[in-house]
């Protein structure tokens, strides 16, 4: 129980700290290693804004055991998957050109959101906390790898390796 409480407060602190950096007033420049077309970049940026709002809703719903709110937000996050959207032929081509690791990060995120929704439907606070934590971990892993220009605080001399 204590570990769950600490994890929750850490998650809330992280969300509070990064929120202003995730919703810029002006569009950002794409990370060069991703080489997205401007319209595909806009789709991903719109998705990222919605995902941020979803994580914030979940962070607020978890301490009050709002299982339906968590499940709804998590499923909306799962269903926002850019790869599942109707895309133009050019956008599909751009997606195929993205690094496999990026696509794996994206797929893992949405899969984790689905697991989070199922845990919330089961009203399993421990599983919800676990999956929410892993969901945030997937955000950090992808941003530390592919959005260093956008989030320069992820830069480190030791790389993006996870350490305890």
User: For position 104, which CATH number holds?
Assistant: 1.20.120.10
Q: Is residue 20 part of a domain?
A: no
Q: Is residue 34 part of a domain?
A: no
Q: Is residue 125 part of a domain?
A: yes
Query: What pLDDT was estimated at residue 22?
Result: 46
Q: Is residue 22 part of a domain?
A: no
Q: Is residue 163 part of a domain?
A: no
**Exposure letters 61-81 (e unless 16+ CB within 10 A, then b):** bbeeebbebbbbbbbbbbebb
- pLDDT of 129 above 50: yes
25-29, 51-55, 66-70, 157-161: the lowest-pLDDT one: 25-29
Q: How confident is the model at residue 83 (pLDDT cuts 50, 70, 90)?
A: low
Q: What are phi and psi of 163, to 5 degrees?
A: -135, 150
Give the domain extent around 113. Answer: 2-9+39-154
Query: What pLDDT was estimated at residue 103?
Result: 87
Query: What pLDDT was estimated at residue 115?
Result: 98
Query: What pLDDT was estimated at residue 118?
Result: 98
Task: Name the domain count of the chain.
Answer: 1
Q: Is residue 162 part of a domain?
A: no
Q: Is residue 54 part of a domain?
A: yes
Helices (H) and strands (E) in the chain, counts: 6, 0
d(CA 93, CA 65): 42
Q: How many CB atoms lie within 10 A of CB 84?
A: 10
Mean pLDDT of the chain: 79
């Amino acid at each position: 129980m204590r570990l769950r409480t600490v994890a929750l407060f850490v998650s809330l602190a992280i969300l509070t700290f990064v929120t202003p950096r995730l919703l810029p007033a002006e569009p950002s420049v794409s990370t060069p290693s991703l080489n997205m077309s401007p319209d595909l970049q806009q789709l991903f940026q719109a998705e990222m804004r919605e995902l941020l709002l979803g994580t914030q809703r979940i962070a607020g719903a978890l301490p009050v055991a709002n299982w339906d709110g968590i499940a709804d937000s998590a499923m909306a996050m799962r269903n926002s998957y850019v790869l599942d959207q109707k895309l133009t032929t050019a956008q599909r081509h751009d997606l195929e050109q993205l690094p496999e690791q990026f696509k794996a990060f994206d797929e893992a995120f949405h899969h984790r959101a689905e697991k989070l929704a199922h845990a919330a439907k089961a009203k399993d606070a421990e599983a919800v906390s676990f999956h929410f934590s892993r969901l945030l971990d997937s955000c950090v892993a992808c941003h530390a790898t592919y959005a260093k220009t956008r989030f320069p605080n992820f830069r480190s001399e030791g790389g993006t390796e996870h350490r305890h």
